[in-house]
Amino acid sequence: MIDLKLVRNETDFVKEKLATRGVEAAEIDDLLAADQKRRDLIVKSETMKATRNQVSDEISQLKRNKEDAADKITQMKQVSADIKAMDDQLTTIAEEVHDKASRLPNIPNDNVPVGLTEDGSVELRKWGDIPSFDFKPKSHWEIGEALGILDFERGAKVSGSRFLYYIGQGARLERALYNFFLDENEKAGYTEVLPPYMVNSASMFGTGQFPKFTEDVYSLKEADETLIPTAEVPLVNYYRDDVIDTEKLPVKFTALTPAFRSEAGSAGRDTRGLIRLHQFNKVEMVQFTKPDESWDALETMTNHAEDLLKKLGIAHHVITLTTSDMSFTAAMTHDLEVWLPYQDKYREISSCSNCTDFQARRAHIQYRDDNGKLQYVHTLNGSGLAVGRTVAAILENYQNADGTVDIPKVLQPYMGGQTKIVKE
């Protein structure tokens, strides 16, 4: 959540920064007006409580002197009723302030390219040769269906559109990938975690999905549970309402989980294949760091995700997203995009973001600095990697004219020495 003190003290700065994310100045003004009303009510309430204490002392004195205290008692009842009404009003306005503040995105870093659309992202680097074929490359879904390793038709029959079955070598390839990712992440210092796949609303609020993006998730009826859209949610909330031992920082978690997304607003986009599903596997990386270490951590995390693609031998590039294209919680995001020959373009396979103290404020995650004072940690998250999209990249980049698919060398030990996917 945005720091309310920063909004009060540096209003013009906050307006300028959030304007690059599509936030109107009126939203900031509304928040400040509600906040001022809350602060005025606090002053009034405290003044009335002081009056109540004074009247209470006067009543006690009158009773000790055996004097009539009826008028003062009547006054006390009225003051108490007024305080009760004001406290109720204060609760309402405090909730309004909290709601308004919780809907404002994180302030972008000065080095984030400004843009109100995805256009304008900055390419940081490019790796690998774009593959050339002496035949027309097929789409990953055509390849997978022809090999009998991807079954979209039965997935749609059983669950609906944007679901599928991985069959045989397809399931084994998926398993090989996420085991490879987890092993590499562990080598990089990440602790593997197997978290819950359902979380409560407080957790969804902590990482920024609620209250603004409730339409993007699957929530259970008549229960405060939501299927996770990413392992980031249970991993970050592991320390919700907690103080992390300073000597433990940085904390680095990784997890393989399914991700469940409604894909609201994606009608007509990527209707075929593995790019945009309602359920997919993803290996996630999350870090908790001290504030002065988070920007180096972002680059290290991005480089590690990129190394996974290099070891797989898949051409890709790294870009920095524009102010409006990065996630609600991010202060900066680097996207890794892999080359897909059939589409003749790069497509996203990982987003690595520094959320600074934005999520930590929402989830109340702190540590003690060198002076023993409580401070908010910085949180970072990144895909390492999205498994289904990596399968798509392998099928398209390693396809052969006869319909078979070569298996990247680094994955062959995970597939029992198998070097090629052939039709069974």
Check the annotation: does 349 bind a ligand. yes
Alpha-carbon distance of 391 to 141, in angstroms, equals 10
Within 8 A by CB and 6+ apart from 232, the residues are 207, 284, 286, 381
CA torsion angle for 188, 194, 198, 199 (degrees, to 10)?
Answer: -60
CB atoms < 10 A from the CB of 58, how many?
A: 14
Alpha-carbon distance of 233 to 256, in angstroms, equals 13
Check the annotation: does 284 bind a ligand. yes
Check the annotation: does 58 bind a ligand. no
- Amino acid identity at 402: D
| Number of residues written out for the chain | 424
Within 8 A by CB and 6+ apart from 160, the residues are 278
Which residue, among 138, 110, 420, 149, has the nearest Cα to 295 in the 3D structure? Answer: 110
Check the annotation: does 262 bind a ligand. yes
Sign (positive or negative) of CA dihedral 147, 149, 154, 159: negative
Sign (positive or negative) of CA dihedral 125, 129, 135, 140: negative
Check the annotation: does 305 bind a ligand. no
Check the annotation: does 162 bind a ligand. no
Check the annotation: does 95 bind a ligand. no
Which alpha helices (H) appear in 134-231, and where do they start and end? 140-147, 152-158, 169-187, 201-206
Spatial contact of 274 and 392, defined as CB atoms under 8 Å apart? yes
User: What residues are paired with 73 via a beta bridge?
Assistant: none
Which residue, among 396, 382, 167, has the nearest Cα to 286 in the 3D structure? Answer: 382
Check the annotation: does 350 bind a ligand. yes
Check the annotation: does 264 bind a ligand. no
Which residue, among 383, 380, 328, has the nearest Cα to 356 in the 3D structure? Answer: 380
Block residue for tokens 């990247």: 408
Which residue, among 200, 390, 168, has the nearest Cα to 281 in the 3D structure? Answer: 390
Alpha-carbon distance of 350 to 304, in angstroms, equals 11
Alpha-carbon distance of 118 to 340, in angstroms, equals 19
Which residue, among 205, 302, 312, 190, has the nearest Cα to 256 in the 3D structure? Answer: 190
Spatial contact of 285 and 301, defined as CB atoms under 8 Å apart? yes
Check the annotation: does 232 bind a ligand. yes
Check the annotation: does 351 bind a ligand. yes
Binding-site annotation: residue ranges for ATP: 261-263, 348-351
Please enumerate, by residue number, every residue annotated as part of a binding site for L-serine: 230-232, 261, 284, 381, 383
Q: Which residues are annotated as a binding site?
A: 230-232, 261-263, 284, 348-351, 381, 383
